[in-house]
């Protein structure tokens, strides 16, 4: 499974990219607004840090407006993936942009039927929002399972399932087990995936035992030379 980071905070992106675990980035107008910076400037900087796909969302709601904005975004860097909403106008824009060779991420997917339409429109990624479904009492992960099953039954569809609105590590683990190709995670969730109390305890015990030996790996290596 590929991990995308869901943020426009360049410091967070640089820090997490240094782990080698980040395959891409997703942004949206809300995340850009939080940064307080110029949209295209932030996008260009992110694309320079992360070689993988960087999703940038259009603000227009009509097809022609989305095409104009999408083309402008695609010019920022080769790894930009234009994000459009799962609406009739959004899918028309997706078809055209995809035909021009631009990767398109169709966002705000909440049903298997919508996911099928996105794939038919040539989307590189479809983004089902699991957390938002959970928030209203629906089963977000059930949607992921249905979309993965649907795409597997139609091998001519090449759209990747990009699990969005991830709230905790188990969303990621369950999606990976189902066969979703991508999860986009808030930085907080990716950091939570590192954590386990037994890891912390084990490391503390090992360090305490090593300290008792009174040795230094670096000094021992120097003495041997």
Pairwise CA distance, residues 206 & 186, whole Å = 32
Q: Is residue 215 part of a domain?
A: no
pLDDT per residue of the chain (225 residues) written in tens, 0 to 9:
999 999 999 999 999 999 999 999 998 777 777 778 888 999 999 999 999 999 999 999 999 999 999 999 999 999 999 999 999 999 999 999 999 999 999 999 999 999 999 999 999 999 999 999 999 999 999 999 999 999 999 999 999 999 999 999 999 999 999 999 999 999 999 999 999 999 999 999 999 999 999 999 988 656 555
CATH code of the domain in which 77 resides: 3.20.20.70
- Residue 129 bridge partners (DSSP): 164
Q: 168: buried, middle or exposed (CB in 10 Å: 19+, 13-18, 0-12)?
A: middle
User: How do residues 94-108 score in pLDDT, each as one tens digit?
Assistant: 999 999 999 999 999
Two tokens at 71?
């083309």
Give, as one character, the DSSP assignment of residue 164: B
Catalytic residues: 83
Percent of the chain with pLDDT over 90: 89
User: How do residues 19-49 score in pLDDT, each as one tens digit?
Assistant: 999 999 998 777 777 778 888 999 999 999 9
Tally of structural domains, the chain: 1
Q: Is residue 160 part of a domain?
A: yes
What residue numbers bound the domain in which 122 lies?
2-195
Q: Is residue 210 part of a domain?
A: no
Q: Is residue 222 part of a domain?
A: no
């Amino acid at each position: 499974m590929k991990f995308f980071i869901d943020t426009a905070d360049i410091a967070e992106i640089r820090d997490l990219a240094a782990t080698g675990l980040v395959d891409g980035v997703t942004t949206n107008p809300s995340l850009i607004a939080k940064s307080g910076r110029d949209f295209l400037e932030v996008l260009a900087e992110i694309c320079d840090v992360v070689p993988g796909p960087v999703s940038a969302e259009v603000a227009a709601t009509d097809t022609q407006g989305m095409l104009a904005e999408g083309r402008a975004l695609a010019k920022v860097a080769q790894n930009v993936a234009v994000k459009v909403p799962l609406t009739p106008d959004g899918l028309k824009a997706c078809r055209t942009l995809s035909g021009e060779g631009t990767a398109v991420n169709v966002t705000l997917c909440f049903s298997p039927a919508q996911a099928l339409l996105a794939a038919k429109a040539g989307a590189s990624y479809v983004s089902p929002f699991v957390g938002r479904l959970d928030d209203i009492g629906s089963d977000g992960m059930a949607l992921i399972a249905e979309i993965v099953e649907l795409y597997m039954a139609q091998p001519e569809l090449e759209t990747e399932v990009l699990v969005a609105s991830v709230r905790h590590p188990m969303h990621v683990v369950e999606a990976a087990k189902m066969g979703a190709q991508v999860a986009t995670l808030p930085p907080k969730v990716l950091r939570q995936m590192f954590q386990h109390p037994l890891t912390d305890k084990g490391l503390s015990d090992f360090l305490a035992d090593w300290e008792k030996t009174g040795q230094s790996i670096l000094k021992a290596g120097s003495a041997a030379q």
